[in-house]
Amino acid sequence: MEKHGTGGNWIAFPQKAGLKRCGKSCRLRWLNYLRPNIKHGEFSDDEDRIICSLFARIGSRWSIIAGQLPGRTDNDIKNYWNTKLKKKLVGNMHHLKRPPQPATISTHPLISQIPINPPPPPPYNHQYGSTTSFRPLISSTFSAPSSLLPMHGNNYNHQVIFGGEASCSNSSDSTNQIGDQNLGFQSYFSNDRVDDVDADDEGHKFLIAANHGYDHKVNCFGHEQEQEQNPLDYSMEDIKQLITTNHISTNLNFFVDEIKTEPGTLYY
DNA sequence: AATTGCCTCAACCGCGGCTCG
DNA sequence: CCGAGCCGCGGTTGAGGCAAT
């Protein structure tokens, strides 16, 4: 590379360099490992936060995420996420405890008894593009690791995360992915963690939400608008507005309304 | 010491997009 | 408009290392 460069042509590179490799392989090796200023070693907490925040916002767009982390490559971040960071986050979720059921939830027709093992998904309503009876599948207290949350000098441990293209990892049919790309929300719980919510493959939208009932504020990972004070801090009314303006199920709207009444709860 | 299973991460694969003739 | 060539990206693989048994 120092002697010849690529000349904008990786295919010709191995011949110039006398390598028995294809250009593509050389390019990968250079970009991911050999080029100057590549940062190796442990990821810092700050990097963790940036990755999580961006993943929540844009999903597995590793090259874009890498662009925000100088010295890190998309491959590096992808590997880190898949092998460590995701487990770190999900592992924390698995230790969550289920809170007592508040009356407002248990008596609600749409959110009655919240099962530990999710039931089969309701049929997809093709007319309205949403489930006819959206319901939370899992409920538990939630406390994301502080190192993984975008912190801005306050306790934003209450959050709403909209499930997006994180559908079945073993489903290669991308047409089954529902995603709310317009909203820009995506789930931290990619792939395996939400396999039990196969409703997604039917076209159902799902919501992961937690609210610690702190001033009726929620933390919306990754939304870029309305950043007057804190880009990650939204009221329930803001969330409802986002949902309605993006034509997501009114049941969801209703659902979010319910979360407001139950602090310390995580829903799928 | 040998075996097994798990984890990590560099590398591979296939696809989509772009450019150019 | 079409096809070839190339690039970039995201998903996946598998060799090697390590820890547990």
> CA of A82 and C1' of B5: distance in angstroms?
19
What's the rounded Cα separation, in Å, for the pair A92 and A157?
A: 13
Asked whether residue A42 carries a pLDDT value surpassing 80, the answer given is: yes
* Contacts (Cβ under 8 Å, ≥6 apart) of A144: A89, A92, A157, A159
Nucleotides in B strand less than 7 A from protein CB = 7-14
What mean pLDDT is reported for chain A?
Answer: 50
Q: How confident is the model at residue A66 (pLDDT cuts 50, 70, 90)?
A: confident
Which range among A62-71, A186-195, A203-212 has the greatest average pLDDT? Answer: A62-71
> CA of A189 and C1' of B10: distance in angstroms?
25
> CA of A85 and C1' of C18: distance in angstroms?
20
What are A208's strand-pairing partners? A161
Radius of gyration of chain A (CA): 21
* Contacts (Cβ under 8 Å, ≥6 apart) of A72: A39, A43, A47, A66
Residue A144, CA distances (Å) to A23, A27, A266 in order: 43, 38, 11
Structure tokens at A175: 């047409």
Residue nearest to nucleotide C9 (CA to C1'): A63
Residue A151, CA distances (Å) to A25, A89, A142, A157, A232 in order: 39, 16, 16, 9, 9
pTM to 2 decimal places:
0.49
| CA–C1' nearest nucleotide, residue A76 | B9
Q: What is the pLDDT of residues A122-147, one digit of tens each?
A: 333 332 222 222 222 222 223 333 33
3-state secondary structure of A229: coil
Asked whether residue A35 carries a pLDDT value surpassing 80, the answer given is: yes
Q: What is the pLDDT of residues A151-171, one digit of tens each?
A: 232 222 333 333 333 322 222
Nearest one of A255, A251, A167 to A211, comparing CA atoms: A255
Identify protein residues whose C-beta is within 7 angstroms of any atom in strand C.
A 6, 8-12, 23-24, 27-28, 60-64, 74-75, 78-79, 82, 169-170, 172
Q: What is the pLDDT of residues A215-237, one digit of tens each?
A: 223 333 333 333 223 323 344 55
| CA–C1' nearest nucleotide, residue A170 | C11
> CA of A194 and C1' of B5: distance in angstroms?
25
Phi, psi of A123 (to 5 degrees): -65, 145
